[in-house]
Amino acid sequence: MQRQVALIKQSLFDQGYLDEQFMELEELQDDANPNFVEEVSALYFKDSARLINNIDQALERGSFDFNRLDNYMHQFKGSSTSIGASKVKTECTKFREYCRAGNAEGCLRTFHQLKKEHSTLRKKLEHYFQLARQAGPKETARRPK
């Protein structure tokens, strides 16, 4: 079971969903805080959902306030980087570039992609944590390769 969990995790890294930072977080997990990573992830998804909402609303309004969008995205990027959400972070960067360029179309497209990545990651992580809990607390951070 644990091997399975490990494999899943490995694949997440391999596929680029997660990066080194995630490993850092796992290292912070210990017996005293056995679910730290999961807690952080939960917090991240909750907070980022809020941000996504804000951005959605801002985009829907039609008036592209690039500054504001950029601000939102900066926050979003910060969170995503902190938990190691690699693909999400990439999309964030792209989005910000479009913002700076004033490219509304690009922003919309990227944002759409970003949301997709975000929800994919969320599902995968949820699945992963679920398994990890089932497998027991043995799971410790192991750097992929």
Partner 1 sequence: MINSGHGRGPDSGSNSDPFPAGLRVLVVDDDPTCLMILERMLMTCLYRVTKCNRAELALSLLRKNKNGFDIVISDVHMPDMDGFKLLEHVGLEMDLPVIMMSADDSKSVVLKGVTHGAVDYLIKPVRIEALKNIWQHVVRKKRNEWNVSEHSGGSIEDTGGDRDRQQPREDADNNSSSVNEGNWRSSSSRKRKEEEVDDQGDDKEDTSSLKKPRVVWSVELHQQFVAAVNQLGVDKAVPKKILEMMNVPGLTRENVASHLQKYRIYLRRLGGVSQHQGNMNHSFMTGQDPSFGPLSSLNGFDLQALAVVGQLPAQSLAQLQAAGLGRSSLIKPGMSSSPLVDQRSIFNFENPKVRFGDGHGQTINNGNKQMSLLHGVPTGMEPKQFAGSHMRVQQQITGVRPGQNVQSSGMVLSVADHLPRGGPSMLSSLGQQQPMFSTSVSRRSDLTGAVRNSIPETNNRVVPATHSVFNNFPADLPQNNFPLASAPGISIPVSASYQEEVNSSDAKGGSSAATAGFGNPCYDMFNNFSQQQQQHHNNKLNDWDLRNIGLAFSHQDTASASAAFSTSEAYSSSSSLRKRRETDATVVTAHGQNQQPPSRSLNHLNHVFMDGGSVRVKSERVAETVTCPPATTLFNEQYHQEDLMSALLKQEGIPSVDNEFDFDGYSIDNIPV
Residues contributing to the site for partner 1 (CB under 8 A): 21, 24-25, 27-28, 33, 36, 39-40, 43-44, 47-48, 71, 74-75, 77-79, 81-84
Nearer to partner 1, 2 or 36 (CB): 36
Question: Could you tell me the smallest distance in angstroms from the CB atom of residue 119 to partner 1?
Answer: 17
Q: Which amino acid is at 26?
A: E
Six token digits for residue 124: 């995968």
Rounded Cα–Cα distance for residues 71 and 39 (Å): 25
- The string of DSSP letters for 12-54 reads HHHTTSB-HHHHHHHHH--SSSTTHHHHHHHHHHHHHHHHHHH
Q: Which residues pair with 109 in a beta bridge?
A: none
Query: C-beta of 1: minimal distance to partner 1 in Å?
Result: 26
Q: Which amino acid is at 96?
A: R
Return the number of the residue (2 or 57) whose C-beta is nearest partner 1: 57
C-beta closer to partner 1: residue 50 or 134: 50
Q: Nearer to partner 1 by C-beta: 28 or 101? A: 28
Distance of closest approach, residue 32 Cβ to partner 1, in angstroms: 9
C-alpha to C-alpha distance for 122 and 116, rounded to whole angstroms:
10
**Could you tell me which of 95, 90, 125 has the C-alpha nearest to residue 107?**
95
In angstroms, what is the minimal distance from the CB of 30 to partner 1?
Answer: 8
| Side-chain half-sphere CA neighbours of 121 within 13 A | 28
Tell me whether residue 36 or residue 109 sits nearer to partner 1 (CB atom): 36
Q: How far is the CB of 37 from partner 1 (least distance, A)?
A: 10
